[in-house]
Amino acid sequence: MLNDTLDRVTDRIIARSEDTRRAYLDRMRAAAQDGPARAHLSCSGQAHAYAAAGPDQDALATRDAGNLGIVTAYNDMLSAHQPFEGFPGLIRDAARAVGGTAQVAGGVPAMCDGVTQGTAGMELSLFSRDVIAMASAVALSHNTFDAVVFLGVCDKIVPGLVIAAQAFGHIPAVFLPAGPMTSGLSNDEKAKVRQQFAAGEVGRDALMKAEMAAYHGPGTCTFYGTANTNQMLMEFMGLHLPGSSFVNPNTPLREALTREGAQRALSLSHLGNNYTPVCDVLDERAFANGIVGLHATGGSTNLLIHLVAMARAGGIVLDWHDFSDLAEVTPLLARVYPNGLADVNHFHAAGGLGYMIGELLGAGLLHPDVTTIAGQGLERYTQEPKLKDGALTWENGSGETLNDKILRPASDPFQPTGGLKRLTGSLGTAVTKISAVKPEHHVVEAPARVFHDQEAVKAAYHAGELNQDTVVVVRFQGPKANGMPELHSLTPVLANLQARGHKVALVTDGRMSGASGKVLSAIHVCPEAVDGGPIAKVADGDVLRVDATQGVLQIVTQGVLDRPVVEADLSGNEAGLGRELFATFRARVGSAETGASSL
């Protein structure tokens, strides 16, 4: 039986979205009626489209067995996307084997928040999601494809690709992951060295050695941050093949899944009897399932923004109340770093997403009757892929956890509620991730220290000015101010203060990385400072209360809201490393609550 809260929240989303969803679906049905324009192109237009297709030219010109578009985030600077280099060849061969064709429609940018963390480049990160969506639309604008496969993994890439898939929701789409790198130096050991470096206990040579041992080969980073949360969502929401998210790159199983994904996409096109467009997969129930998956796995706070934007691209209106209400009934079933010591490879080996989906279905916490690229019903996603004599098959996954320190049944969770919490009060609205925060740190009431950038926080820390109970406020970090960069580089500093016995919390209108978590952090504060939100009135010494237990974000000191708002000189955010090209994005972007989108 479906959980009452899940049922109620889903009905609320459906009612709230009624008009916008109907208008979206009407557009998609009309586009489906028109179909791909390939056959309607002029001879010259077709010749342009097929000129470089080599052995596929004749099939494209004379047959109608299906043409598969490939939108890829490949680059060989970033480990997560490097494995995609060989995917187009595999996909073309797989398409030919079933009488179809495949072409790379276009590429999209893929930046790494880990590389740009704490630098000016990070101010382009959130906006890159919208650029990716736009670049994907350009790639698909030739309207010559019967289905599409999307190759992307990391933080903004998957959300941007999903937004684009929704814009072309009349055609089928399959998301093909690259998989995580094999396990290296444990994430916990890496984090310890970072804290030691921040405290001046080890030098840069020791830090570099640890980082290189952790990030050592092709594939996604192994901690459970935004990239791997994306992969989980694509499985929970039915856009991956079952069990495909966390299979390592460059393995026979990974290649078999890539070939099968390409053929599956073609099989779902309007040319066959199993037409399954994206607009029928990503409905309100799919997004509710995604939110449950986010809570049950202790996923990244970034998805509180991305899921809202992804849903709106399909006419579905989510708000943070939906996330908060579902968190109250969703048990935390996984402990993956930073919420535990295990990495995603350990999680996958312990039973992974298939086991977790089975547990949540059994508890009535997922909609079972959804449409997926694997067919009707989410029950298919309790199975796991296997290679038997070179043939890809799916078998029932483990009915029990293989390591209860990493993965637990719904009847015996790590905690009874999800890892994300909505906070409200006189300081505004925010969210916090508490799955990695010890219970004794869930409530912090202390004087504020106010900063306008993260480098000023680090300088105050090194000067010994923060050795006390404190709520560190970092403002003018919202979408309109400077693109809402992640402030993950503050994590070692704040963790060190907490380890010294101080009560410490962070309050910011910016973001924290999906890898953050030990320190109580009220993030995505709305309204942001540049919009005159209460966070722009706080001064040093004002007492603030961050209470994840009661969901409170409060200014305790009287009279703060009577002050004028503080203004900041933001001219330094306007140029350098491409920031001048994103002025239109900063001017148009919405609030974090509405998905921080400029589209």
Q: Is 412 exposed, middle or buried (0-12, 13-18, 19+ CB in 10 A)?
A: exposed
Instruction: Give the amino acid at 281.
Output: V
Instruction: Give the amino acid at 184.
Output: G
Sequence-separated (6 or more) residues with CB below 8 Å from residue 25: 279, 315
Residue 221 annotated as part of some ligand binding site: yes
Q: Are 467 and 501 in contact (CB under 8 A)?
A: no
Q: Is 189 exposed, middle or buried (0-12, 13-18, 19+ CB in 10 A)?
A: middle
Q: Is 44 exposed, middle or buried (0-12, 13-18, 19+ CB in 10 A)?
A: exposed
Please report, in angstroms and rounded to a whole number, the separation of the first and last CA atoms in the chain: 39
336 closest CA partner among 431, 250, 227: 227
Three-point CA angle 358, 360, 364, nearest 5°? 115
Instruction: Give the amino acid at 154.
Output: C
Strands (E), 296-382: 371-372, 375-376
| Residue 557: other Cβ atoms inside 10 A | 15
| Residue 362: other Cβ atoms inside 10 A | 14
Helix/strand/coil for 261: helix
Helix/strand/coil for 268: coil
- The number of helices, as runs of H, and strands, as runs of E, in the chain is 22, 16
| Chain Cα centroid distance, residue 63 | 39
Structure tokens at 344: 């995603």
Instruction: Give the amino acid at 116.
Output: T
| Chain Cα centroid distance, residue 73 | 15
CA dihedral over 214, 216, 222, 225, signed as positive or negative:
positive
Helix/strand/coil for 430: strand
Distance from C-alpha of 323 to C-alpha of 288, rounded to nearest angstrom: 9
β-pairing, 375-376 vs 371-372, is antiparallel
Q: Is 439 exposed, middle or buried (0-12, 13-18, 19+ CB in 10 A)?
A: exposed
| Residue 135: other Cβ atoms inside 10 A | 20
Distance from C-alpha of 538 to C-alpha of 535, rounded to nearest angstrom: 6
| Chain Cα centroid distance, residue 152 | 11
Strands (E), 397-498: 420-425, 428-433, 443-451, 470-474
DSSP H helical segments within 144-203, as ranges? 157-167, 187-198
Instruction: Give the amino acid at 542.
Output: D
Structure tokens at 316: 């579905």
Sequence-separated (6 or more) residues with CB below 8 Å from residue 207: 193, 194, 197
Binding residues: 154, 221
Binding residues for [4Fe-4S] cluster: 154, 221
